[in-house]
Chains A and B, each alone.
Chain A
Amino acid sequence: MEGLKGNAGAYTNEMRHDHLITSKQLSRGDIETVLDRAAEIDEDPSAVADRYADTLLGLLFFEPSTRTKMSFETAMKRLGGDVVDMGSVESSSVKKGETLADTVRVIEGYADALVLRHPKQGAAQMASEFVDVPLLNAGDGAGHHPTQTLLDLYTIRENAGLEDLTIGIMGDLKYGRTVHSLAHALTNFDVHQHFISPESLQLPREVVYDLHQEQDGTQIREHESLEEILPSLDVLYVTRIQRERFPDENEYQKVAGEYQIDTDTLEAASDELTIMHPLPRVDEIAPEIDETDHAAYFDQAHNGVPVRMALLDLLLGGDDGGVRDD
């Protein structure tokens, strides 16, 4: 991405409308622009309350979603706009065999921007080639989830800062799209990344390849155990290990148990450790941690609204007051 277009004067010059497909397209400048705008909106949401009164956001969710879908809807409504929702796959034309390419071309005629979640990797990239309105990837299979990344980065910046950071990312790193997107985005900053997972759920080699293209190899480490690295972490980003990734229940229980944390686990951690999770969690973070100062995952989920408001503002906005100029 060559930039996200800004509504406020300070953001406009070098930016233009575009799609958001993967975090790889985001430069450090792009990321900081979104996070700064999100902070301004968080501070004073009323300043943007009616900015997009005539704007409609099209929601196309081919997979279930609670947080992402509701926070996009909330963000658009808090900006004064509204949403049009394709609804569930079962109730749409997709059930009749319509291609994704056709679906997005129809719905772009109803909306000013589209948000797409789809079970197939590359779906957002392909869909973006068929539409002229901005398209935001809200998750494409095991691929990417860049808007989640922006709210993750916002949360990290608020809690631990993005400079001289040591982060552990733990759980299902193979299929976890939030992990893939976050890892790419973090290469823009001075960050040491430690990836903790069972061998069968390590980062895809494609992601490791990209990380090594972007960053010194010493800043990327893979581990099978949290224990050895926990004391050095500023942030621990936990993801869910899904039962269906394992051939049988016993194997799942054995592996998943090693990647669960509770207050005993945290005795070895820094007092300043920030714990994050994209949610939903099952049992990988014990509820007793919710009440500690470590827990940032509910704030993280709440941050989805100001960050997505900022992103919509930057993608939809412009000196012409929200009308696309390309």
Chain B
Amino acid sequence: MTENDDHQLRVSKIQNGTVIDHVRAGQALNVLAILGIDGSEGEEVSVGMNVPSDRFARKDIVKVEDRELSQDEVDVLSLIAPDATINIVREYDVVEKHRVDRPEVVEGVLSCPNAGCITTDDEPVTSRFEVLDDGVRCAYCGTIVREGIASLIDT
């Protein structure tokens, strides 16, 4: 039995939607947070955590029924799951497969953790972060965040 068959057994197949594979182990719930998925809409969600993987020792996998990701969502996903693959599934078949690309800038999705930053005031400004090799940097105050980026997601 291949690795793929193995985890397919653990996490059920979906008919239509998105499979986010090769998520770094431990990040699956953050992926759901980015997508704003908490189950309250009744969508069918399957999560595999610490699944054996050829590429990493362990990985997480997220399957979401009836949901295809926007480019903005993929951009932010890339910050916490840079190795993820996005599989678009229609009628049980993978019809598109993408690797995520790290964008140069992410706008409007993260909030700056620096309480002294102008973007934390009640100003009509959209947050903007430059993406570094190992983190993100606020375009306004210059604060660099390397750990805990998922906690900055503006939901």
Which residues of A come within 8 Å of B, CB atoms? 99-101, 118-123, 125-126, 129, 140-143, 205-206, 209
Contacts and interface: CB of A to CB of B under 8 A. Distances in A.
Given A141-B116, A142-B116, A121 B142 contact: yes
B138 A122 contact: yes
Which secondary structure dominates chain A's binding surface?
Answer: mixed
A120 B116 contact: yes
A125 B117 contact: no
Contacts of A122: 117-119, 138-142
B123 interface: yes
B144 interface: yes
A205 B143 CA distance: 9
A89 to B, nearest CB: 14
Contact of A126 (B122, B137, B140): B140
Contacts of B141: 120-122, 141, 143
Q: Please indicate which of the listed interface residues A121, A122, A140, A143 has the most CB atoms of chain B within 10 Å of its own CB.
A: A122
A226 to B, nearest CB: 28
B121 A120 contact: yes
Contacts of A206: 137, 142-144
A120 B122 contact: no
A121 B125 contact: no
Contact of A101 (B124, B143, B144): B124
A205 B146 CA distance: 12
A126 B119 contact: yes
A126 B142 contact: no
Nearest to B121: A120
A110 B137 CA distance: 34
B114 interface: yes
Contacts, number: 55
Contacts of B125: 101, 126, 129
Contacts of B119: 122, 126
A126 B127 CA distance: 10
A129 B119 CA distance: 13
A100 B140 contact: no
Q: Please indicate which of the listed interface residues A121, A142, A143 has the most CB atoms of chain B within 10 Å of its own CB.
A: A121
A14 to B, nearest CB: 26
Given A101-B123, A126-B125, A205 B144 contact: yes
Nearest to A124: B118
Interface string B133-152: 00001111111100000000
A126 B123 CA distance: 9
A100 B124 CA distance: 9
A119 B120 CA distance: 12
Contacts of A142: 116
Interface string B73-97: 0000000000000000000000000
Given A120-B118, A121-B117, A126-B118, 8 more contacts: A100-B121, A120-B116, A122-B117, A122-B118, A122-B139, A140-B118, A143-B141, A209-B144
27 contacts: A99-B121, A99-B123, A100-B121, A101-B123, A101-B125, A118-B118, A119-B116, A120-B118, A120-B120, A120-B141, A121-B117, A121-B141, A122-B141, A125-B139, A125-B140, A126-B118, A126-B119, A126-B123, A126-B125, A126-B140, A140-B118, A141-B116, A142-B116, A143-B141, A205-B144, A206-B143, A206-B144
A99 B124 CA distance: 8
